[in-house]
Amino acid sequence: MASTSISAPTPAPTVGFDLDMTLIDSRPGIRACWVELSERTGTYVDADLVVTRLGPPLAEEMAYWFAAEEIPAVSDLYRELYPSYAIDGTLAMPGAREAIEAVQAAGGRAIVVTAKWEPNARLHMKHLGMAPDAVIGNLWAEQKAEALREHGASVYVGDHVGDVRGARVAEAFSVAVTTGPCSAAELGEAGADVVLADLTEFPGWFSDYRPDYLPARA
């Protein structure tokens, strides 16, 4: 008699999400924090300009306004100010909660991988009532591949060409959203596998991408 083998179900995927301008609109809070930092240090900072280029590490933005030898101390001050000035003013991006929940409802894991200082990233998630399975901070662009690989992420969602590069290095499927500083053309040219307008489109895309992972609909 021929034996019949039953293959094990494919595990649901781990999906990584960027934070600033992907899951959260941190521009109001970050602007307020930079304004306060400018007042505390007596150094002019164009906070409105700062929030148009969110994504890269804090030190890169600091270099536009402060001398190299000042950056470590001023960065520490910024991070100390951040919880008081940047958390309350930050909003969830449209579809952010639903995107995380779509992954988790399918039995997958949703993780946040961000260049933001990790304690502050966690504060944002707690304040906005989002519950990713893990939050990993202090990683930018290609560095994000470290966390994506460690957590076995097969998809990474972000708004910046740096996020696309991180996904490519990790050999993860790159989903880009046009809610940040980079255009659809820039994201596509960087190598994004798919470009969405925002996260409200993610659950539908995810359902089509991994339909066998989703629970049966009544």
pLDDT at 89: 92
CB contact at 8 A, 159 and 21:
yes
pLDDT band at 9 (very low <50, low <70, confident <90, very high): low
Write down the mean pLDDT value for the chain: 93
Could you tell me if 177 and 196 are in contact, meaning their C-beta atoms sit under 8 angstroms apart? yes
Mean pLDDT of 123-141: 98
Between CA 136 and CA 113 the distance in angstroms is: 5
Which tokens sit at 194?
Answer: 């798919």
Q: What is the mean pLDDT of residues 181-195?
A: 98
In this structure, of 1-10, 53-62, 168-177, the range with the lowest mean pLDDT score is 1-10
Tens digit of each residue's pLDDT (9 = 90 or more) over 87-124: 999 999 999 999 999 999 999 999 999 999 999 999 99
Query: Residue 217 — very low, low, confident or very high, per pLDDT cuts 50/70/90?
Result: very low
Look up residue 48 and give its two tokens. Answer: 């409105």
Give the pair of three-digit tokens for residue 1: 């008699």
Residue 215 scores a pLDDT above 80: no
Residue 141 has pLDDT above 60, yes or no: yes
Give percent of the chain above pLDDT 70: 91
Q: Is 22 within 8 Å of 93 (Cβ atoms)? A: yes
Q: Are 168 and 191 in contact (CB under 8 A)?
A: yes
Task: Tell me the two tokens of residue 64.
Answer: 């536009």
Of 39, 158, 43, 34, which Cα lies nearest the Cα of 89?
Answer: 34
pLDDT of residue 203: 97
CA distance 109 to 102: 10
CB contact at 8 A, 13 and 154:
yes
Concatenating the DSSP letter of every residue in 94-153 gives TTHHHHHHHHHHTT-EEEEE-SS-HHHHHHHHHHHT---SEEE-S--GGGHHHHHHHTTE
User: What's the mean pLDDT in 147-158?
Assistant: 97
What are the angstrom distances between the C-alpha of 65 and each of 35, 42, 54, 84, 209? 12, 11, 15, 22, 44
Q: 193-210 b/e with 16+ CB inside 10 Å = b?
A: bbbbebbebbbebbeebb
Q: Which residues of 2-29 are buried (b: 16+ CB within 10 A; e: fewer)?
A: eeeeeeeeeebbbbbbbbbbbbbbbbeb
Model pTM score: 0.90
Q: Where are the beta strands (DSSP E) in 10-60?
A: 14-17, 24-25
Give tens-digit pLDDT for 38-58: 999 999 999 999 999 999 999
